[in-house]
Structure 1
Amino acid sequence: MQPQVAGTEHFDDAPYKLRRSEVADVLRKVGSKIESYGLNTWQLRTLSAIKKCRTAELGGHIDGCDQCGNLTISYNSCRNRHCPKCQGNKREDWIEARSTELLPVPYFHVVFTLPEAINSLAIHQPKIVYDTLFEATWETLQTFGKAKEMQMGMIAVLHTWGQNLSLHPHLHCIVPGGGIDADGQWKNSHSKGDFLFPVKALSKVFRAKFCEKLKKKEPIKYEQIRQELWRKPWVVFAKKPFGSPNSVVEYLGRYTHKIAISNHRIKSIDNENLTFDYKDYRMAGVKKQMTLTHREFIRRFALHILPKRFVKIRHYGFLSSTWKREKLKLLQEKLQVKVLEKVEKKPFLPKCPCCKTGNLHRIAVFDQRGPPAWYLGGGQNTIPCKS
């Protein structure tokens, strides 16, 4: 008797109707034609990893249930930061780490957005544009902090996409509503209920900082787009303070490990096109559907593959790693923060998908050649599910 196999949705040959449509499905349908799409080698490597994620091509392991004897096969993840299936655990780990660093102060969500005029340079020189975005944003906040004689802090997360997968570079920033003064004491930057800083003033300083840096790094390109960069006001969006410090981390967790499009937004894939959901923010966030050819979808998705080793989550000021390591504990003591000790995690044993009560234990590991013959063949070493 052949054992029941859990996680059938991860099999390459699983019935299509039993699986949710995925980015990987488009890549498999396109196959070798992707080589002619004009993508660079790093983008091709990334898309190849996403296509292989949780398939036999990356190997896997077999787990056995300690109650019913069911055998379960699981394929390895690609762990690529652009993969729709590999972000959940990373996000939870990040949230857990940040929860020990909170202060009992107001926190603000501020978004710094680049204008469309910068997109052509972002396509060809993404590292320069995105590094400059981080630099200009932090220097803008520092300028306002220094005016109040305090050291600011910031956590910034880069997003490069709009809902329709167009290029739309912007930073989501969580900014504590104050900073550290010369004596190492906490100092609020605002009155209760107010915004962090005036948004129009932030926008003007941000544009000036960005353009100044871009002019030094890319003088020729800057002169080509200078009029467009200064023609319209830039957008800095700020929300009122969060309800509590704990809600800050949960909120930011939505943004830290997001990718351009999640699999649940993909509604259908045929041999030519892909259809996905998106929100039209020009119409108050009305939900719509968009259909793109495979080639156009892959082109748009590839726009958001970040350069190799590019850091998309950055910490600044008194939220930087160096500052936190040396002074955070002292500041928390001054603000009477009760920091919970980290609880050592117990080894996680997944539940059996067959009997729902037993625990799964690793009994075999296999590489890209696929599961062992004894498992596939249903020989005497195979243990059938008794339930």
Structure 2
Amino acid sequence: MPCLQSARQTLPVQKVNAHFEVAHVLRQHWTEVENHPQINRWQLRTLSALKRCRTADLGGHVDACTECGTIRISYNSCRNRHCPKCQGKNREDWIAKREAELLPVPYFHVVFTLPETLNQLAIYQPKAVYDSLFEASWQTVRCFAKDPKHLGAKAGMIAILHTWGQTMSLHPHLHCIVPGGGLTKKGKWRTAKSKGKFLFPVKAMSKVFRAKYVKALKSRINPDKELISALFQKEWVVFAKRPFGHPKAVLEYLGRYTHKVAISNHRILEIDQKQTTFSYKDYRQGAQKLEMSIDNLEFIRRFTMHILPRGLVRIRHFGLLGSSAKKVSIPLIHQELGISIPEKEARILEVYNPRYCACCDKETMVSIQRIPKRGPPKAVFSSVPTQF
């Protein structure tokens, strides 16, 4: 069976800056941020990286075009997973790897959401709350998949953790991609009995999800009895969409969700001495686009809530799509379905190319000097345009 290779065509483009950035708010109020009692050391370290990203603080290099002589200064990125400016390349690299794992079957989109009752615990015990969310979601899908009434086979799942709502409020939920079928114990592919609609009944999934979550949470911490009682009194939400039209649509979906952060810089409309104004969609009003203005320190506080604990993995693979299982299961499923792995179609991606010269429209830029972290070299005159 031929190996699926990545075939991508990159279209060099100039980076387009947002007018306002999260970093601008951080620089403006950094003294208050450093002394904020609710910001821990790990969060402060992350915010510091975002504040310094693509500035002279991190150093950089001077590039020159070998054709026209254009000089450009480029500052280094922080590469932090919470940075609004550092996710483009990471996203494209991740999607390229997932292309080789696409199955020629329908995929379903399932969202597992935690109730607001857990928000306070998520602030103080984020790792326990989010690890339990991953475990309970997979155990719910696995439970229904094992049931012969629904599937009777081993399923797979890719889960992506989001902790925010449109206004940066705390709203922990998992976006899950589940193939519409599974492998039986005999290694035979079995298609889900969904009849082109939903994978499993969502009302039944909601109750199982709640029970699985409480069990997972208890295995990590000792929650109050009042909290457990409140959780069982709430109606939990499992949202399911109809399957994607084509496996390639899964990649487009993943590209939108995998490397998102709490807010993108392009959503920030204005920053003044007191407030930050940003756009958001109100899904209760048909995804109407609205604007919100909040105090700058409140904006920073909301953003900080979504900085994940150190080492917490926010994209996880389960079952057939797990890191150890997929090497065997993916070729086996293609073989079972009698469909060979197709040759890769070239994708044209608009990716920033540091060797691209906009003046010559060629890849003729070369690095001629490194910039230390203390700032730009004196030999470079002040009028040189800074490239971000």
Q: Same fold (TM over 0.5)?
A: yes
| Secondary structure of 2:279 counterpart | strand
Q: Please, which of 340, 343, 352 is the counterpart of residue 343 of structure 2?
A: 340
Q: Is the 8 A contact 2:194 2:200 kept in 1?
A: no
Aligned to 1:88: 88
Aligned to 1:43: 43
What amino acid is aligned across from residue 118 of structure 1 in structure 2?
L
Aligned to 2:189: 186
Residue deviations 1:52-107, cap 9 Å, x none? 00000001111111221111111000000000000000111111111111111110
Q: Is the 8 A contact 2:82 2:307 kept in 1?
A: yes
Q: Is the 8 A contact 1:100 1:340 kept in 2?
A: no
Aligned to 1:57: 57
Residue deviations 1:128-160, cap 9 Å, x none? 000000000000011011103210100000000
**C-alpha deviation, 1:289, in angstroms:** 1.0
Between the aligned residues of both structures, percent identity stands at 55
Q: Is the 8 A contact 2:64 2:71 kept in 1?
A: yes
| Secondary structure of 2:269 counterpart | strand
Structure-1 separation of matches of 2:182 and 2:77: 41
Aligned to 1:293: 295
Q: Is the 8 A contact 1:103 1:337 kept in 2?
A: no
Aligned to 2:29: 30
Structure-1 separation of matches of 2:362 and 2:163: 43
**C-alpha deviation, 1:187, in angstroms:** 0.6
Decide which structure has greater helix share.
1
Aligned to 1:321: 323
**C-alpha deviation, 1:213, in angstroms:** 2.2
**C-alpha deviation, 1:341, in angstroms:** 6.6
Residue deviations 1:246-267, cap 9 Å, x none? 1111112211000000000000
Aligned to 1:175: 178
Q: Is the 8 A contact 1:66 1:358 kept in 2?
A: no
Structure-2 separation of matches of 1:284 and 1:213: 35
Structure-1 separation of matches of 2:292 and 2:353: 40
Structure with greater contact order relative to length (CA < 8 Å, sep ≥ 6): 2
Q: Does 1:311 align with 2:313?
A: yes
Q: Is the 8 A contact 1:266 1:275 kept in 2?
A: yes
Q: Is the 8 A contact 1:161 1:167 kept in 2?
A: yes
Q: Is the 8 A contact 2:156 2:319 kept in 1?
A: yes
Q: Is the 8 A contact 1:134 1:171 kept in 2?
A: yes
**C-alpha deviation, 1:339, in angstroms:** 4.2
**C-alpha deviation, 1:8, in angstroms:** 10
Q: Which runs of structure 2 are paired with 1:234-253 in the superposition (5 Å)?
A: 234-253=236-255
What amino acid is aligned across from residue 198 of structure 2 in structure 1?
F
| Secondary structure of 1:290 counterpart | strand
Judged with a 3 Å threshold, the aligned counterparts in structure 2 of structure 1 residues 298 and 233 are, in CA distance, closer, same or farther, namely same
Judged with a 3 Å threshold, the aligned counterparts in structure 2 of structure 1 residues 274 and 348 are, in CA distance, closer, same or farther, namely closer
Structure-1 separation of matches of 2:99 and 2:15: 36
What amino acid is aligned across from residue 128 of structure 1 in structure 2?
A
Structure-1 separation of matches of 2:72 and 2:223: 59
Aligned to 1:354: 359
Aligned to 1:163: 166
Larger displacement relative to structure 2 (283-292 or 82-91): 283-292
Q: Which runs of 4+ in 1 moved over 4 A?
A: 6-10
Aligned to 1:137: 137
Larger displacement relative to structure 2 (283-292 or 195-204): 283-292
Judged with a 3 Å threshold, the aligned counterparts in structure 2 of structure 1 residues 237 and 72 are, in CA distance, closer, same or farther, namely same
| Secondary structure of 2:110 counterpart | strand
Structure-2 separation of matches of 1:349 and 1:125: 41
Structure-2 separation of matches of 1:279 and 1:59: 37
What amino acid is aligned across from residue 367 of structure 2 in structure 1?
R
Q: Is the 8 A contact 2:103 2:330 kept in 1?
A: no
Aligned to 1:276: 278
Structure-1 separation of matches of 2:197 and 2:230: 32
Q: Is the 8 A contact 1:37 1:299 kept in 2?
A: no
Judged with a 3 Å threshold, the aligned counterparts in structure 2 of structure 1 residues 168 and 103 are, in CA distance, closer, same or farther, namely same
Structure 1 portions without partners, runs of 5+: 1-5, 11-18, 383-387
What amino acid is aligned across from residue 93 of structure 2 in structure 1?
D
Aligned to 1:97: 97
Larger displacement relative to structure 2 (128-137 or 144-153): 144-153
Aligned to 1:215: 218
| Secondary structure of 2:325 counterpart | helix
What amino acid is aligned across from residue 369 of structure 1 in structure 2?
R
Q: Is the 8 A contact 2:56 2:375 kept in 1?
A: yes
**C-alpha deviation, 1:228, in angstroms:** 2.2
Q: Is the 8 A contact 2:108 2:240 kept in 1?
A: yes
Larger displacement relative to structure 2 (331-340 or 67-76): 331-340
Larger displacement relative to structure 2 (128-137 or 350-359): 350-359
Structure 2 portions without partners, runs of 5+: 1-12, 347-351
Structure-2 separation of matches of 1:188 and 1:217: 35
Judged with a 3 Å threshold, the aligned counterparts in structure 2 of structure 1 residues 156 and 377 are, in CA distance, closer, same or farther, namely closer
Larger displacement relative to structure 2 (305-314 or 282-291): 282-291
| Secondary structure of 1:322 counterpart | coil
Q: Does 1:202 align with 2:201?
A: no
**C-alpha deviation, 1:326, in angstroms:** 3.4
Equivalent pairs, count:
363
Aligned to 2:125: 125
Residue deviations 1:180-221, cap 9 Å, x none? 111112111124322100010111100111112223433343
**C-alpha deviation, 1:374, in angstroms:** 1.9
CA RMSD after TM alignment? 2.3
Structure-1 separation of matches of 2:242 and 2:345: 31
Q: Does 1:370 align with 2:375?
A: yes
